[in-house]
Amino acid sequence: MEIGTPETVKEVLINADQLRSRVAELGAQITADYDGKNPLFVCILKGAVMFLTDLLKNVNIPSQVDFMQVSSYGGATESSGIVKIIKDLDISAEGRHVVIVEDIVDTGITMKHLIELLSARRPASLNICALLDKKERRLVEIPLTYVGFEIPNAFVVGYGLDYAEYYRNLPFIGVLDPQVYRS
Ligand code: PRP
């Protein structure tokens, strides 16, 4: 099996139409909740990029966006538990209504570290918007304000999510054939 090819995705979990309509709902909800608050969206690279761009097209209030990159997985399919900051924010989070935009919350370890890090900068508020919630894998409790979809414990790719940097370009969320990462 060649990595990145369509036959290595064994099932479509969330199709493009489902993504479009749920992301539009989340954008509308955030627009209503943050009216007059000038939110700062903090997109967690790289997986959340596709979600962020679609989400922001549905946010119709003054707002700003910045990016952070942290690393917990490396090349592995399981979190190492070690979270390293690769890129920090350019815009100060102090006094801002911050919305962390993340593609997936799995064990929650990455998000726990991000919450600690950003809380220390004294934002006016801090909420999380995650496209996917893989709840059954959670090791630490994380308060998620906005969730796109709860998903089962499968290795998912597409719509920004990768395996070995492949599959981010898929317009849907699919389940990766385990043969790809077992071989
Ligand atoms: C993924 C995802 C989260 C984290 C979730 O990032 O985007 O940041 O793992 O896992 P956890 O809840 O178990 O901590 P990854 O390290 O794969 O980086 P990427 O977004 O650049 O692909």
In the chain, what are the domain boundaries? 17-151
Architecture of the domain spanning 17-151: 3-Layer(aba) Sandwich (3.40)
Instruction: Determine whether 106 is an active site residue.
Output: yes
Residue 104, CB-side half-sphere exposure with 13 Å CA sphere: 26
CA 28 to ligand 1 centroid distance, Å = 25
Q: Per-residue pLDDT tens for 148-170?
A: 999 999 999 999 999 999 999 99
CA 109 to ligand 1 centroid distance, Å = 9
What residues does ligand 1 touch, defined as CB less than 6 Å away?
44-47, 71-73, 79, 102-111, 162
Determine the 3-state secondary structure of 162 from DSSP: coil
Q: What is the predicted pLDDT for the residue at 72?
A: 73
Encoded tokens for 164: 């070995």
CA 36 to ligand 1 centroid distance, Å = 31
Closest listed residue to residue 37, CA positions, set 117, 95, 113: 95
Atom of ligand 1 nearest to the CA of 102: 7
Q: What is the pTM of this model?
A: 0.94
Q: Per-residue pLDDT tens for 57-116?
A: 999 999 999 999 998 755 555 555 667 899 999 999 999 999 999 999 999 999 999 999
Let me know how long the chain is.
183
CB 146 within 8 A of CB 28: no
Q: What angle do CA 67, 73, 79 make, to 5 degrees?
A: 120
